[in-house]
Amino acid sequence: KIIMVLLLTCTPESNTNDLLPSSSYHSSVLSSLNHLPFDGHLTFDNVQFAAKDFGGMFSSLPLAVLQPRSVSDISLAVRHVFELGPASGLTVAARGHGHSLHGQAMTRGGLVISMESLRWPKMRVFTGSSPFVEVSGGELWINILRETLKYGLAPKSWTDYLHLTVGGTLSNAGISGQAFRHGPQISNVYELEVVTGKGEIFTCSEKQNSDLFYGILGGLGQFGIITRARISLGPAAKRVKWIKVLYHDFALFSKDQEHLISLEKTFDYVEGFVMINRTGLLNRWRSSFIPKDPVQASRFTSEGKTLYCLELAKYFDPEESELVNQEVERLLSKLSYISSTLFLSEVSLLEFLDRVHISALKLREKGLWEVPHPWLNFLVPASQIKEFAGEVFGNILTDGINGPILIYPVNKSKWNNRTSLVTPPEDTFYNVGFLSSVPLSTGKDGLEHILAQNRKIIEFCDSKLRGTKRYLSHYSTQEEWKAHFGTQWEVFVRRKLEYDPLAILAPGQGIFEKRI
């Protein structure tokens, strides 16, 4: 009889030496994998990379890493682990680009499948009235952008950073400034090929195996490994007008954001962020962006106050530049930003969409990329956002954080509500991200301090706000996961029993534990 037990497995700051499996039985069953006829490569050495992620706070050492060359490699491996039965205790973690925050792509003493090695199917663009691109589940979004641009096409919905895999973001949601009009990435998929926790291969879509299709999208890797995806495309504009304007007043800032996302004809991208003690950032824009009014902009100072930056983008082709200028002027004229703080820039679509990579490279050079990232993300109902901002920016984070604080609204009507993702029960809600980096180990910027601040924000949301949901979340108990999923929990468990009954897949999410 299958027993799926309830508690979590991930341990913060684990010493990887403690994580090696203790029983020789365990390692002997894993080495039985060695005899399987893989097209790709199975290794028991050099597996340390798979015990790390972008979050830099969790570590679980696997026993082996499979670099698959084909979908049958993945199916073979998972089926083998499934057939070993619950007694083996083995789990399997698909690893995309390893940019999770809390060890979600790890398995302690199990098998990691390194999805970036899966180069099949070869990326193919299908043009026509509903164009799409077919890609491997381990493909990076930046490569998809480069390839589709050759056809004058591009995916419609993005994440802010493109060096993430298709399987990794589709397991969460994939939210950025286009999500208000196109929904998140999980609302822009036509078809998936999936290997379930029994090792079976299924093609699924809205019409075919739809329960699996919607389960997988936003399903935190719990029901299957995405090996192939068909992603919807639209025409790609060549150029982007990229705009930043500032506000002192949160109510005006959020009113303008909500106004812009409610319009039919509006910007193509609407985001925003909070600037607490970020004079350096303001100075950087003065050089990288062109102020509309250079004299006034050079005199503008934040006077130590918190500022709210509305970030906008309008896509266009060079021949329609004049028309677009008029359209942008018209949209901006309805907004209430501080008039001297209009910063403009014009870049290619590739430069705009890949913008975070430039910052990432600079941080990497300074040794500030591979540091702990105790990020915290919420989806906050629009009705609660003023209270959220008042308490969080006014009281809890008076010193700010070392990193961006993102905040922007989306329209739920554009999101497909059949996916596994849980969202607040309102038509408009905000995506809020506290994206801290921790270069120092103690004091105001230290990890303990940031984690304590995060706990305060979570406690405030849990106790004072209705309907707020965490995104990219991590919980310590299954009770908390149950509360997170709310009325969707039953369906989530039912799907787990159907598609991964031994709880083999994505153990790093800490939702279900495989037990003997």
Residues belonging to the active site: 99, 160, 271
Residue type at 16 in one-letter notation: T
- Give the CB-side neighbour count of residue 36, counting CA atoms within 13 A: 23
Stretch that binds ligand FAD, among 257-265, 272-280, 389-397, 505-513 (CB under 6 A): 505-513
Shortest distance in whole angstroms from residue 406 CB to ligand FAD = 8
What's at 491, amino acid-wise? V
Contact string 74-113 vs ligand FAD (x = CB under 6 A): -------------------xxxxxxxx---xx--------
Q: How far is the CB of 81 from ligand FAD (least distance, A)?
A: 14
Pairing outcome for strands 376-381 and 469-471: antiparallel
Q: Which of 18-26, 166-174, 325-333, 437-445 is the region at the interface with ligand FAD (rule: CB under 6 A)?
A: 166-174
Contact status: 226 vs ligand FAD (CB under 6 A): yes
115 to 50, 73, 81, 129: CA distances (angstroms): 12, 11, 18, 31
Is residue 153 within 8 Å of residue 131, measured between CB atoms? Answer: yes
In the complex, the smallest distance separating the C-beta of residue 163 from ligand FAD, rounded to whole angstroms, is 8
Residue 445 to residue 124: CA distance in whole angstroms: 45
Name the segment binding ligand FAD (CB under 6 A); options: 1-9, 120-128, 169-177, 237-245: 169-177
**Chain residues 394-413 in contact with ligand FAD, contact rule CB under 6 A:** none
Pick 61 or 225: Cβ nearer ligand FAD: 225
Question: Smallest gap, in angstroms, from Cβ of residue 508 to ligand FAD?
Answer: 6
Contacting residue, 8, 115, 379, 397, with ligand FAD by CB under 6 A: 115
CB of 96 to ligand FAD, least distance (A): 2
Shortest distance (Å) from residue 28 CB to ligand FAD: 25
Rounded to 5°, the CA angle 506-507-512 comes to 110
Q: Is 419 in the site for ligand FAD (CB under 6 A)?
A: no
Show the tokens assigned to 346.
Answer: 């014009």
Residues 254-283 that bind ligand FAD (CB under 6 A): none
Cβ neighbours, 10 Å, residue 13: 10
Per this entry, what is the length of the chain? 516
Q: How far is CA 91 from CA 63, 169, 468, 469, 472, in A?
A: 10, 21, 32, 28, 21
Q: Are 159 and 174 in contact (CB under 8 A)?
A: yes
Q: Kindly provide the residue ranges of all beta strands, DSSP E only, lying in 132-218, ordered along the sequence.
A: 132-136, 153-155, 189-196, 201-205
Name the 3-class secondary structure at 407. Answer: strand
Residue nearest to ligand FAD (CB): 167
Distances (CA, A) of 253 to 141, 261, 311, 387, 461: 31, 13, 11, 14, 21
Q: How far is the CB of 293 from ligand FAD (least distance, A)?
A: 31
- Using CB under 6 A as the binding rule, whether residue 221 contacts ligand FAD is answered as yes
Among 67, 72, 157, 159, binds ligand FAD (CB under 6 A): 159
Residue with Cβ nearer ligand FAD (161 or 512): 161
Least Å distance, CB 238 to ligand FAD, is 23
Among 50, 66, 78, 175, the residue binding ligand FAD under the rule CB under 6 A is 175
Of 27-66, which residues contact ligand FAD (CB under 6 A)? 53-54
Q: Which of 68, 131, 424, 508 binds ligand FAD (CB under 6 A)?
A: 508
Among 137, 183, 199, 409, binds ligand FAD (CB under 6 A): 137
Nearest to 430 by CA among 382, 392, 485, 388: 382
Q: Are 163 and 171 in contact (CB under 8 A)?
A: no
Per CB under 6 A, contacts with ligand FAD among 429-488 are: 472
Which of 47, 143, 147, 160 forms a contact with ligand FAD (CB under 6 A)?
160
Among 14, 67, 75, 165, binds ligand FAD (CB under 6 A): 165
Among 148, 176, 188, 468, binds ligand FAD (CB under 6 A): 176
Q: Which is nearer to ligand FAD, 29 or 115 (CB)?
A: 115
Residues near 322 by Cβ (< 8 Å), separated by ≥ 6?
Answer: none
Q: Which is nearer to ligand FAD, 165 or 428 (CB)?
A: 165
Tokens found for residue 29: 């069953």
Computed on alpha carbons and rounded to an integer, the radius of gyration of the chain in Å comes to 23
User: Which of 58, 132, 161, 408 touches ligand FAD (CB under 6 A)?
Assistant: 161
CA distances from 483 to 86, 158, 387, 470, 487 (A): 27, 28, 22, 11, 9
For residue 509, the minimal CB distance to ligand FAD (Å) is: 5
Q: Residue 372: is it exposed, middle or buried by C-beta count within 10 angstroms (0-12/13-18/19+)?
A: buried
Residue 198 sits in the site that holds ligand FAD (CB under 6 A): no
Based on CB atoms, which residue is closest to ligand FAD, 96 or 291? 96
506 lies in the binding site for ligand FAD (CB under 6 A): yes
Compute the distance between CA of residue 435 and CA of residue 278 in angstroms, rounded to an integer.
14
Asked if residue 399 lies in contact with residue 452, where contact means CB atoms within 8 angstroms, the answer is no
Residues that bind ligand FAD (CB under 6 A): 53-54, 93-100, 104-105, 115, 137, 159-161, 164-165, 167-169, 171-176, 220-221, 225-226, 472, 506, 508-509
